[in-house]
Structure 1
Amino acid sequence: MASTMDTIDPKEKDMNVQEKHIHEKKHHYEPNSDSDADSQIDILRAAGIGIAEDDPTEPILTLRMWVLGILFCIVICGLNTLYTLRTPSLTITGSVVLLLAYPLGRLWEKIVPDWTVPLGDLSFELNPGPFNTKEHTLIYVMSNLSIYVRLGADVLTEQQMFYGYKAGWGFQILITFSTFLIGFCLAGLFRAIVVVPKELIWPGVLSVTALTTTLHHVSQEQVQSRLVPTPNGCADSFEGSQVSYVGSPLLIPSWAILNVTVSLVFWIWIVAVACYYTNVWNTGYLPFQSSKVFDNTGDIYKVKTIVNAASGYKLDVKKYLAYSPVYMPVTYALNMFGLSFATLSALLVWVILEKRHVMADAFRRVPKLVVESLPRRSRAHSEDDRGDPDVPLWWYLVCCVLALFMAMFAVEWWDVDLRWYGVLLACVVALVFYPPLALVYATANLKINIDIFCRIVAGFVFEGKVLANIWFFDIGYITTIKGLYFAQDMKLAYYCHIPQRKLFLVQFVGMIVGTLSSLGVLNWALNHISGICTSAAVNGFTCPYSSTHFNTSLIWGAVGPRRYFSNQIGYSALLYFFIIGAVLPIPVHLLSRRYPNSLWKKIHIPLFIGGLNYLPPATGMNYGSWAVVGLTFGWLIRKRLHGWWSKYNFVLSSAMDSSVGIAGVVIFLTIYFTGASEHFSWWGTEVYKNTCDWKGCPNLSLPKGGKFGE
């Protein structure tokens, strides 16, 4: 990244490049490394990933940051909420905000007058000077909340459009903001375990540091020299939005991609195919993959036959027995249930075997953190490693109390079947699973689902109550996902030298703004888009994620785990996956200790079992193209062209995310939203509709009676 090399003798320059290349190969970026914590940060800085030295004179909480941050938070939260209702779904990532905020920040720097608004202690400057990295990062953090709000929007959509229960604005605001706060508190309470340790890299933030460094600290000549031609994309399966459907592959270590790829080959291409063509669980009468569930005629299950407003949103047992059991496609049953069961037990065993010392050390520090966070303690006793006042633990505890009150009031006042003790039980589940989930995400940049565990617990405690099931899932699982993103942003603040108290304020304001923006767009969409959440929806607004959640809540909420595992279909065999998940980490752990330099050290059982958590609605094509691109850059290019990889990989990831997001907005607003797409018809827009993947063709024809499984 230094420009001095351009002024020295060419021979000396080549020698320096070679020496640097050798140095980088010795100390390359490897999130799974056990090297010293401080040297990890030095390695990242040397690799050009943008972890620069601190400039304590830079202003942070400026008017410019607040205006641009709130503006982008409103727009991006709204658009991402809208896109989560659409097929194919598209996420506008924070990289888009990083790219668009930069020229706006520089424009503010150039044209806004340098005036001071005199308000005593609250005085501020309209133009605080050059647009800096810390302002830019906080704008990104505030808009990054858009990923969190869309998760809650899916559950609200499920309740209103699939179950027909409209709770109103009051419930929506309280439940959305409370789940925000619970996730926020999880990150804050466990930050000593998942944020502060410098050996936890959090690869997902590296594209942010790389792009901000490129924009703020690289000269125009260097930027032009960096814009070298990149490999061209191939056929539809390597289209940007499809490749990054499960996350940017350029940010995920190659060892993690390999674990997921082997999982795809073994569980989906071998096990699932074998089960399908041998008609295990009557799956041969259904599509190979779908996010829908079916009845015994092969049609999509008519849920309102057994659960509706007349039954109080509870299972009508007589109608259920007269209608049909719930049947699942093979990939749905195997991945969303069997592998999810195995993931739960594998995750807990893996933490005990691999991370018990880390957890024990962190918990031993808890009493000291509690004492230092008491309000009576002076600021000098509660500083972070840069001398800035740290966030007291009691701030997060106050947020916890507020969140619990709002959540319990919401579920009791609006009568969604989840009682106050259900909220507390869901929070206990989140507390237990959050640390191991965060440790995996901090090293592999991949999320693992525990949603099925939440569904099963709610299915036993609130049997037959679908609304209780979906909100137990929301509070027990979605809050942990929100907590992962909050912790990731806390790590980003450490990298960018942003005081944690200032980050706390920005995240809190962003939660309020993001909640209101998301709910405003959601209510507009559900009331104004024709045919929304149905197959007849305009512009693909079929609500794919809410549909998947709906099917799951139908099984565990309405039918319930007791009936589900005791019927004649044979789904009880999936319970053996709990044993499989608990056993697999043990031999891998022993072999990796016995042979520390072998491939056993790279096997990550929680990822091997739980890495396919986007499938369905993601497909093998999504995971296959993701793996090819990820391994090409993370293994082949990194190995053969390490200097190129260290300079361009993370910036390229951010650039790809930005281009996909911006292009998606432009295409949607100009072609789909205007109705122009209705006039586009050619071979490429129609050919896929003639495939069995699109039509959902089953392998077997129905028996003579028109029903199977009898």
Structure 2
Amino acid sequence: MANEVEDEMKSTISSNDQDGSSKDHGSHGQVPILENESSQATVENHLKHDYIDHRLNDPNMETERIDSVEAALEKGDYKAEVKLEEELEEDSPYAEVRAAVSNIDDPSMPAMTFRAWFIGLVFSIIVPGVNQLLYFRYPSTSIGPLVAQLVAHPVGVLMAAILPTKVFKTPLGSFTLNPGPFNVKEHTIIVVMANVSFGGAYSTDVAAVQRIFYHFDWGYGFIILLTLSSQIIGFSMAGFYRRWLVWPASMIWPSNLGQTALMTALHGQVDTGSGHLTRFRMFLYVFLGAFCWYFFPGYIFTLLSVGNWFCLIAPNNVVLNQMLGTQTGLGLIPLTADWNQMSMIGNPLYTPWWAQANVFGGFIFMFVFLGPILYYKNVWNSAYLPMLASGSFDRFGNSYNVSKVTTADHMFDPEGYNNYSEEYLTITYAMAFALSFASITGVLVHAALFHGKDIIRQFKTSVSEERDIHARLMLKYPEVPKLWYAILFLICFAFGIGSAAGWDTGLPVWAFILAIIIGAFFMLPVGVIYAISNVEVGLNVISEFIIGYIHPGSPTGMMMFKVFCYMATYQGLSFARDMKFGHYMKIPPRDMFIAQVTAISLSSFVIIGVQDWALSNIKNICTHEASDKFTCNSTRVFGTASEIWGLIGPAKLYSSGKQYNNLLWAFLVGALFPAIVWALSKKWPKSFVRLINAPVIFTGTGNLPPATGINYTSWIVVGFVFNYLLKRRKTGWWSRYNYVVGAALDTGTALSSVFIFFCLVFPKGKGRDFNDGTWWGNLAWQNTADSNGTPYLTPPDDGFYPAPGMFRPA
């Protein structure tokens, strides 16, 4: 089957004949079959380095390919060795990359054109603005990069048809508004500008929480400095780490493959061969189907989305609702027809099957097996709370009232705390914190053991020494000077100090510097795991933990530390992922640098302005009474974290003698588990043990809560069908269409949800028959213990535990 795919992929690569320019495969030529020992030794060293040495640390490497290399080396079959070497020269060693990325380039194709800049800047304004508005609404939806990618194509083609082709001469050189047909590199620049801006800005939650939770506002100066600094400072780090995270072939970045597959389909870089439906047609059919279908689960019949069908049998049976419910339950039977539910934790068609299996294994053990045992035994008084919720609670089972433990100057009030209540977490939230602790030590140990040698070797490697076809094709374009990244870092560093010291934030400058150091330290190990698995280890919890211990009592200071520490890594890795996208699409690195910095800077101002308008003009925003469901669920989670870690501090939850102290053992478990896996994989290098990835297991369930069980059970079912069954049994179909289908499902569903919101839900007086009427299909799921978050035990009127200042029984 593997040979069938190789033959098919070789036959399907075709030239992009948009402008008639010559194309370059980047090969160093066919490897000559020479009979001298030095040549054979060179080939064997290459194969050993590229395949055999990666068996343990690269779960994406095809086992069949490694076995073929081992067999050829053992037999000393030089012809077979040369054939394998030639295959490596011509294309990527990874099936996922071969299926989605073209191995040709046209260096004469322009990228930074007027069309690219115009469309890219428009997207950098519209996409983040709309997404920031929709961010406050539940269920949240957004315009993703794939939507921008799809819309940009006809716009670019139209501009190529109507713009004048006249060449203008200026003292700085000649230029034209229309250099010819709209090409794939222009399109990539546009998508990159949308990519870096569509996700919003984490820092804006600081200003939102200040206004919503603590009722004060420091104005535009503070949030502009904070946002620009935190959004861009990670970019300079990405520039430093690109030799580890962008250049190597093993850093495949699975989340990019949907975009590259769609790009090659739209621009005709890859043909599927005679007798097969073209990739573009497949995309179009699935896109239209997804767009039309989402009207049912997203608007007409929302029970199809929620999927808690079995709860309707006994809506007041608490245990049944907690096991099969999808709002505050484990959702063990995945009966949802909503792609948003199936892809909430990531597109299941992009994430490699081995990574999905690791995540689901962690979910089963921690949340299906261990979680219910602890819950029904009432460990940590958790049975008095919903099984799954992301907020903190008081001893009466109500949401924690932060105003009772806050002074007039927004600091911690010890007397109010002693008279009120400790904070209590749902069992799933507590376990999610434990997994987060384990992921921090786990990612360091795993990266050191499985990738340490490669990291050290790569420190001295330049892009010219990379043997990957895509790295060789990029040799034609000059790299970005390190000085550019250094200057950018210094500017953002100054902005960060200004935001911390210019207002009474409670964040000392030394703490700001510490946040940057921690983020930079973790970026490489986290990036390696993210690039191979599509699962990112987040630093949000550990950053809260650190600042909560070393500088407690200031919610704003905690939020800022978290933004700088977490965003230095998260935003930096987002830039690195986009650099790899440009690497795959053969965009000159300096063009990428300019496009990314421009887009993120412009979008930051847009996001700040839209948020200020929303908080000032939408009635009852961020409350349960908000119009059009602008309840700000994600912002409230951010605010809850500021209470737990900043205002009250982790010492009152995790220190010796406190109720959640035992969760700190997770740090030790996180360090030991990958060491055990590494030792076992060294003993049995060809067994399934080599595919066990501790950081992926620990961090894969990091979205739960606010995600619920159904987001994992439905995700794994889809992933099993596409990335296990179809990849093995219908390999040709999978190679042609898997990533295109994933892109179509994402794009069609996202566009449909945006259309429904702006055309049917948001306008006053429209769509009320379905949204606010009496139709059973949109109401039945709400009248359940699952939807109401009913706990297993009812809290007593005087609370299930004494207040901190009261006498505690022995």
**Both structures adopt the same fold (TM-score exceeding 0.5):** yes
RMSD: 2.7
Whole-Å Cα distance in 1 between the matches of residues 189 and 568 of structure 2?
22
CA offsets per residue over residues 69-124 of structure 1, 9 Å max, x none?
01111111112212221211223211101110000000011111212333321542
Whole-Å Cα distance in 2 between the matches of residues 669 and 243 of structure 1?
23
Change (3 A) 1:341 1:227: closer
- Partners of 1:74 and 1:513 within 8 A in 2: yes
Q: Does 1:696 align with 2:793?
A: no
Partner residue of 1:355 out of 447, 451, 457? 451
Q: Does 1:320 align with 2:417?
A: yes
CA offsets per residue over residues 359-400 of structure 1, 9 Å max, x none?
21233459x99xxxxxxxxxxxxx995221111111111111
Q: Does 1:679 align with 2:708?
A: no
Deviation at 1:513, TM superposition (A): 1.3
CA offsets per residue over residues 330-349 of structure 1, 9 Å max, x none?
111111x1111111111111
> AA paired with 1:354?
F
Q: Does 1:113 align with 2:164?
A: yes
Partner residue of 2:426 out of 329, 337, 341? 329
Whole-Å Cα distance in 2 between the matches of residues 568 and 667 of structure 1?
52
Deviation at 1:227, TM superposition (A): 6.0
Whole-Å Cα distance in 1 between the matches of residues 158 and 9 of structure 2?
41
Q: Does 1:20 align with 2:113?
A: no
1:19-98 matched pairs, under 5 angstroms: 20=7, 31-32=60-61, 41=92, 47-98=98-149
> AA paired with 1:31?
N
Whole-Å Cα distance in 1 between the matches of residues 475 and 675 of structure 2?
40
Partner of 1:372: none
Whole-Å Cα distance in 2 between the matches of residues 642 and 688 of structure 1?
40
- Partners of 2:131 and 2:141 within 8 A in 1: yes
Partner of 1:638: 727
What is the SS of the residue equivalent to 2:181?
coil
Whole-Å Cα distance in 2 between the matches of residues 107 and 143 of structure 1?
19
Partner of 1:283: 382
Q: Does 1:531 align with 2:651?
A: no
Whole-Å Cα distance in 1 between the matches of residues 649 and 279 of structure 2?
58
1:187-586 matched pairs, under 5 angstroms: 187-217=238-268, 222=278, 226=282, 235-236=304-305, 237-308=336-407, 310=408, 312-335=409-432, 337-364=433-460, 385-566=474-655, 570-586=659-675
What is the SS of the residue equivalent to 1:144?
helix
Moved more, 685-694 or 148-157: 148-157
The alignment's TM-score, normalised by the length of structure 2, stands at 0.79
CA offsets per residue over residues 638-686 of structure 1, 9 Å max, x none?
1111111111111111111111111111011012211324332211111
1:643-682 matched pairs, under 5 angstroms: 643-675=732-764, 676-680=766-770, 681=773, 682=775
Change (3 A) 1:223 1:597: closer
Change (3 A) 1:147 1:574: farther
Whole-Å Cα distance in 2 between the matches of residues 598 and 502 of structure 1?
44
Change (3 A) 1:22 1:396: closer
Deviation at 1:198, TM superposition (A): 1.8
What is the SS of the residue equivalent to 2:512?
helix
1:120-199 matched pairs, under 5 angstroms: 120-199=171-250
> AA paired with 1:703?
P
What is the SS of the residue equivalent to 1:118?
strand
What is the SS of the residue equivalent to 1:539?
helix
- Partners of 1:346 and 1:585 within 8 A in 2: yes
> AA paired with 2:109?
E
Change (3 A) 1:291 1:64: same
Change (3 A) 1:46 1:624: closer
Deviation at 1:150, TM superposition (A): 3.8
Whole-Å Cα distance in 2 between the matches of residues 152 and 247 of structure 1?
23
What is the SS of the residue equivalent to 1:251?
coil
- Partners of 1:84 and 1:154 within 8 A in 2: no
Deviation at 1:570, TM superposition (A): 1.5
- Partners of 1:281 and 1:569 within 8 A in 2: no
The alignment's TM-score, normalised by the length of structure 1, stands at 0.90
Q: Which runs of 5+ in 1 are unaligned?
A: 1-13, 370-382
Partner of 1:4: none
- Partners of 1:172 and 1:519 within 8 A in 2: yes
- Partners of 2:653 and 2:659 within 8 A in 1: no
- Partners of 2:91 and 2:98 within 8 A in 1: no
CA offsets per residue over residues 516-535 of structure 1, 9 Å max, x none?
11111111111111111111
Deviation at 1:316, TM superposition (A): 0.7
- Partners of 1:526 and 1:532 within 8 A in 2: yes
- Partners of 2:395 and 2:800 within 8 A in 1: yes
CA offsets per residue over residues 605-651 of structure 1, 9 Å max, x none?
11111111111111111111111111210001111111111111111
1:571-650 matched pairs, under 5 angstroms: 571-650=660-739
Whole-Å Cα distance in 2 between the matches of residues 576 and 226 of structure 1?
50
Deviation at 1:229, TM superposition (A): 7.1
What is the SS of the residue equivalent to 1:117?
strand
> AA paired with 2:790?
C
Equivalences, count: 677
Change (3 A) 1:46 1:239: closer
- % identity of equivalent residues: 34
Change (3 A) 1:227 1:456: closer
Change (3 A) 1:288 1:459: same
Whole-Å Cα distance in 2 between the matches of residues 334 and 315 of structure 1?
26
Partner of 2:321: none
Whole-Å Cα distance in 2 between the matches of residues 391 and 384 of structure 1?
16
Deviation at 1:207, TM superposition (A): 1.1
